[in-house]
């Protein structure tokens, strides 16, 4: 796993072979961040990374200047890996939370400039996640929600949908 740009540009982290998570490819990650640059300034932003997996997105957000990143991951080993990466960077701007994303969403009262969610593509609750983010009021007024999903889902009819981007088998829907 590689950090693409920012203060940690080029840093690599070896993901254990036993991991079930599929990190967002460098190609897809680089392209979606290029798109996001047109929507927001990462410098000083507050971000939420749901279903963090390997922490790839959280680390990229920190590298690009986010003031704070909350990284939520349920899997014990993935959570430990994220913490290990943060320790290697000696960066305390990320709050790693080990827990169920849906429980976290119910209890979260903070608002964010950016919410990024990359749930398992087979998750049965996947279609409900965009509505949950908006119902819980997680975004600041000009906030952006980026939702990574498989090709089988289309969110164009969602009232907050802005655009869809596809990079190979990786799909992103952007909401505002």
Residue 90: count of CB within 10 angstroms of its CB? 6
Sheet holding 161-167, edge to edge: 94-98, 68-73, 46-50, 112-117, 139-149, 170-175, 161-167
What would the two tokens of residue 145 be? 């929600």
Residue 79 has pLDDT above 80, yes or no: yes
In DSSP notation, 59-111 reads: HHHHHTT-SEEEEEE--HHHHHHHHHHHHHHT--SEEEEES-HHHHHHH----
- Ramachandran bin of 44, using left for φ above 0, alpha for ψ from -120 to 50, beta for the remaining angles: left
Q: Which run of H or E residues covers position 170?
A: strand 170-175
The overall pTM is greater than 0.85: yes
Q: Please answer whether residues 54 and 26 qualify as being in contact, where contact means their C-beta atoms are separated by less than 8 angstroms.
A: no
Q: Could you read off the pLDDT of 103-146 as tens digits, one per residue?
A: 999 999 999 999 999 999 999 999 999 999 999 999 999 999 99
Q: C-alpha distances in angstroms, 47 versus 6, 40, 79, 82?
A: 16, 12, 17, 16
Residue 21 has pLDDT above 90, yes or no: no
């Amino acid at each position: 796993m590689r950090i693409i740009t920012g203060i940690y540009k080029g840093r690599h982290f070896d993901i254990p072979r036993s991991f079930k998570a599929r990190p967002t490819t460098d190609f897809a990650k680089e392209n979606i961040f290029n798109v996001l640059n047109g929507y927001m300034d990462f410098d000083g932003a507050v971000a939420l990374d749901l279903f963090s997996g390997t922490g790839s997105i959280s680390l990229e957000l920190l590298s690009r200047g986010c003031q704070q990143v909350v990284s939520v991951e349920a899997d014990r080993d993935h959570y430990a890996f994220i913490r290990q990466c943060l320790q290697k960077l000696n960066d305390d701007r990320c709050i790693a939370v080990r827990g169920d994303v849906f429980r976290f969403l119910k209890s979260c009262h903070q608002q964010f400039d950016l919410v990024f969610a990359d749930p398992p593509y087979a998750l049965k609750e996947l279609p409900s996640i965009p509505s949950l983010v908006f119902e819980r009021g997680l975004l600041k007024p000009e906030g952006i929600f980026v939702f990574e999903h498989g090709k089988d889902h289309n969110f164009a009819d969602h009232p907050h949908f802005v655009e869809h981007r596809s990079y190979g088998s990786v799909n992103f829907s952007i909401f505002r």
